[in-house]
Amino acid sequence: MLPLALSGVAISFPGLAQPVLSIDGLAVPAGGRLAVTGASGSGKSTFVNLVSGLERPDTGAIRWRDTDIATLSESRRDRWRATNVGLVMQDFHLFPGLAAIDNVLLPARLARAATAEIKARALELLSRVGLSRPNQSVETMSRGEMQRVAVARALLRRPGVIIADEPTASLDTEAGAEVGRLLLELADQEGATLIVVSHDERLTERLDRRIRLAAGRVVADTAAEVSP
């Protein structure tokens, strides 16, 4: 369970005058539930990339408890992300040709972290997300099932934070609701901080706090409304 603190974070892309994202201060307590909304182009994806360490800001600090990932090298951010972040993406990013269980284990295997305990956990997680056939090949699954495999993969190494980028956007309503429910439920059970970027209101409404981005800035924050 990791608390997040952003301070003075800004990132620009070459050729663009305005920073793509600029956040003066944002704090999420350990175990917090944060929803990030906004129109496309508002900086949501950049937010995900920054807090997950995929990208480094031009200025500012991104602190997950004591680690400022803005200061880490690319390889070290990779390693930090592998152990601390569970990512769930809109497009699942499962690997065809591999069974569900192998997809769940793949990142851990590539990082040489697939111990017997991790393997047992992978099986357990698959059953917790409601998949009873771990050896089923992912190409034969429905989109909802695929995203559930991705959720199991995200939780495998007991990450301190789960970051989901539009986890329900490519699913039908029913499957989306199920994945949303699983994310909240599992984040609770695992005690992980949860950050969900989504425009799916039925999902975001269920989170403690919602911020809305526009043109790279936080323009609305439910926490600010409650205690100004």
The answer to whether 81 contacts another protein (rule: CB under 8 A) is yes
Give the list of residues 6+ apart from residue 3 with CB closer than 8 angstroms, or none: 27, 28, 29, 30, 32, 64, 65, 193
Contact 165, 45 (CB under 8 A): yes
Query: Which residues inside 142-161 make contact with another protein, applying CB under 8 A?
Result: 153, 157
Q: Does 72 bind another protein (CB under 8 A)?
A: no
Residues 73, 81: Cα–Cα separation, whole Å:
12
Beta-bridge partner residues of 164? 88, 196
**Which distant-in-sequence residues (6+ apart) come within 8 Å of 85 by Cβ?**
52, 53, 159, 160, 161, 162, 163
CA distance 15 to 158: 40
| Residue 110 sits in the site that holds another protein (CB under 8 A) | yes
Q: Judged by CB under 8 A, which stretch of 18-26, 27-35, 73-81, 122-130 contacts another protein?
A: 73-81
Q: Report if residue 166 touches another protein, rule: CB under 8 A.
A: no
CB of 91 to another protein, least distance (A): 8
Asked if residue 123 binds another protein (CB under 8 A), the reply is no
Q: Tell me whether residue 61 or residue 82 sits nearer to another protein (CB atom).
A: 82
Residue numbers at the binding site for another protein (CB under 8 A): 45, 49, 52, 54-55, 74-75, 78-79, 81-83, 85, 87, 89, 93, 95-98, 102, 106-111, 153, 157
